[in-house]
């Protein structure tokens, strides 16, 4: 069943339960309340009548005419003489008066609810003059009158309940629809992601948690799209990079087979073929390494590494290239810092960066280490021409290379290694001022 209907049914059921319970509670309390109220009113009326009858000036006791007095008040009463168990006056017929006397004979007090002539009455009893006189004024109201009021009130209440319930159910329908619609629209968007129709994706308007889910789905789709595009680009670049040396090799190999070259050209061709095969080997090795870094976390073996030792090893490794290019490589370290990384892999990343630096430097490459707020920073700076402005934002992308670049994988590998070590790698450059690469790692105490 659709979520909207489930929510709607749950809400309606809850509403009906609440209304039914309220209805029963009101039904039972209403009659009690009406009876209490009626008794209070009878009492007030009774007190007023007793005060009037006790006023000798208007109603001298020996000459009081109860008949005219009570008929004027439009009341149902008994004036009851308890000592004599007799009725001095009543507005009821004699048969009912007799029944009243019979039932009261053994009672010390008139009952609060009294059954007379087949009907129930609510009573209120007051002493007419004094307790000793034994004369009691009993005022009565038939319970049926109160029940009629109760029924009228209940009908009105039921009407309000029905109108309220219809309104609430309507509102619940609107609310649940408002709540569920974004979900079904989100489902449509997820189906588009499944079919990889990324350019058809639309944002879904929602609130609260659904908005957060929508944002996550959208971020996930953007990332997936970016990943798929980068994979496609990687494949295109890789096949292009592999094709160029292969075509050179093929051209020379066929020429040598068909004896179209002179001995000197053949010699040169073989040299070029060896060079291209080495280039192919390098590209393939770097691609394999990148693929491994992407997928196999297990090949990563972190340990405590002394940053100064690491920089010294970098200098040892780059010495031949630096010597060849007549570039001095120096370190600038103040104290010992430790980081938790795979030593051999990070050495490889630093070598990629430093080799780039040496190839582009005029005369100097500096390796620096320092720490700030629990982070260790390693800087590789050269005094070369700097990174081209247009290349800089993409310098870490695979197969991205500048004018005198080689494969364009070195920095992509370096970044993958640094990020696997929980660090970050960034490049800064001002044209003509050289390039700076900054590696940042969480500091470890040894
Ligand atoms: N220190 C630097 N100064 C100027 N340009 C640089 C520097 N380092 C890198 N670059 C530019 O960035 C490009 C990408 O570098 P990257 O190391 O990824 O590839 P590469 O050096 O061309 O090939 P390889 O895969 O062999 O390292 C280079 O081709 C170069 O143009
Ligand atoms: Mg490089």
Instruction: Please indicate, yes or no, whether residues 224 and 289 belong to a single structural domain of this protein.
Output: yes
Tokens of 70: 């009570």
192 is a domain residue: no
At residue 310, the pLDDT reads 95
**Closest ligand 1 atom, CA of 408?**
19
392 is a domain residue: yes
Q: For the chain, how many structural domains are there in total?
A: 3
At residue 175, the pLDDT reads 87
Tens of pLDDT, residues 267-282? 999 999 999 999 999 9
Instruction: Please indicate, yes or no, whether residues 408 and 326 belong to a single structural domain of this protein.
Output: yes
Q: Which residue CA neighbors atom 8 of ligand 1 most closely?
A: 356
Which one of 261, 295, 329 terminates a domain? 295
**Closest ligand 1 atom, CA of 401?**
29
Range of the domain at 132: 3-150
Distance of CA 439 from the midpoint of ligand 1 (Å): 16
At residue 122, the pLDDT reads 92
157 is a domain residue: no
* Stated pTM of the model: 0.59
Q: What gap in Å lies between CA 352 and CA 366, rounded to an integer?
A: 14
At residue 375, the pLDDT reads 95
Q: Within 6 Å (CB) of ligand 1, which residues are found?
A: 286, 352, 356-357, 360, 382, 384, 386-387, 391, 395, 400-402, 405-412, 435
Distance of CA 410 from the midpoint of ligand 1 (Å): 7
Q: What is the dihedral of CA 30, 31, 36, 40, to 10 degrees?
A: 100
Those residues of the chain that have pLDDT short of 50 are none
Which one of 241, 263, 295 terminates a domain? 295
**Closest ligand 1 atom, CA of 384?**
3
Give phi and psi for 340, each to the nearest 5.
-105, 90
Tens of pLDDT, residues 125-140? 999 888 888 889 999 9
Q: What gap in Å lies between CA 86 and CA 97, rounded to an integer?
A: 9
Q: What gap in Å lies between CA 362 and CA 380, rounded to an integer?
A: 14
Taking the alpha carbons of 161, 163, 169, 172 in that order, is the dihedral positive or negative?
negative
CATH number for 31: 3.30.450
189 is a domain residue: no
Instruction: Please indicate, yes or no, whether residues 304 and 235 belong to a single structural domain of this protein.
Output: no
Which one of 102, 132, 150 terminates a domain? 150
Q: Which residue CA neighbors atom 4 of ligand 1 most closely?
A: 387
170 is a domain residue: no
């Amino acid at each position: 069943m659709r979520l909207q209907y489930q929510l709607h049914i749950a809400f309606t059921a809850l509403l009906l339960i609440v209304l039914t319970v309220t209805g029963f509670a009101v039904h039972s309390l209403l009659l009690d309340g009406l009876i209490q109220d009626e008794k209070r009113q009878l009492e007030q009326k009774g007190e007023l009548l007793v005060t009037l009858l006790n006023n000798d000036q208007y109603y001298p006791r020996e000459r009081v005419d109860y008949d005219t007095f009570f008929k004027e008040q439009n009341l149902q009463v008994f004036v009851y003489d308890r000592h004599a168990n007799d009725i001095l006056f009543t507005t009821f017929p004699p048969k009912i008066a007799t029944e009243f006397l019979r039932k009261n004979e053994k009672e010390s007090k008139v009952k609060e609810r009294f059954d007379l002539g087949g009907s129930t009455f609510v009573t209120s009893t007051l002493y007419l003059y004094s307790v000793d006189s034994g004369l009691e004024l009993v005022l009565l109201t038939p319970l049926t009158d109160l029940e009629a009021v109760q029924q009228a009130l209940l009908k009105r209440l039921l009407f309000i309940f029905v109108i309220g319930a219809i309104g609430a159910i309507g509102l619940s329908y609107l609310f649940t629809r408002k709540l569920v619609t974004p979900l079904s629209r989100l489902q449509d968007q997820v189906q588009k992601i499944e079919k990889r129709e990324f350019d058809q994706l639309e944002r879904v308007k929602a609130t609260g948690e659904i908005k957060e889910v929508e944002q996550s789905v959208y971020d996930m789709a953007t990332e997936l799209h970016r990943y798929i595009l980068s994979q496609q680009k990687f494949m295109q670049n890789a096949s292009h990079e592999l094709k160029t040396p292969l075509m050179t090799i093929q051209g020379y190999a066929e020429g040598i087979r068909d004896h179209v070259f002179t001995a000197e050209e053949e010699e040169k061709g073989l040299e070029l073929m060896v060079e291209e095969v080495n280039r192919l080997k390098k590209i393939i090795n770097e691609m394999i390494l990148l693929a491994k870094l992407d997928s196999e976390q297990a090949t990563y073996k972190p340990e405590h590494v002394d940053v100064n030792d690491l920089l010294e090893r970098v200098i040892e490794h780059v010495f031949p290239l630096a010597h060849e290019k007549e570039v001095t490589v120096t370190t600038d370290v103040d104290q010992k810092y430790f980081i938790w990384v795979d030593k051999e892999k990070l050495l490889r990343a630093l070598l990629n960066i430093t080799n780039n630096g040496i190839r582009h430097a005029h005369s100097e490459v500096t390796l620096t280490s320092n720490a700030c707020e629990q982070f260790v920073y390693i800087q590789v700076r050269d005094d070369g021409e700097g990174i081209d402005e247009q290349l800089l934002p993409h310098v870490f992308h695979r197969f991205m290379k500048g004018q005198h670049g080689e494969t364009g994988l070195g920095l992509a590998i370096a970044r993958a290694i640094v990020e696997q070590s929980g660090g970050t790698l960034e490049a800064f450059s001002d044209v003509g001022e050289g390039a700076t690469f900054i590696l940042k790692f969480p500091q470890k105490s040894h």
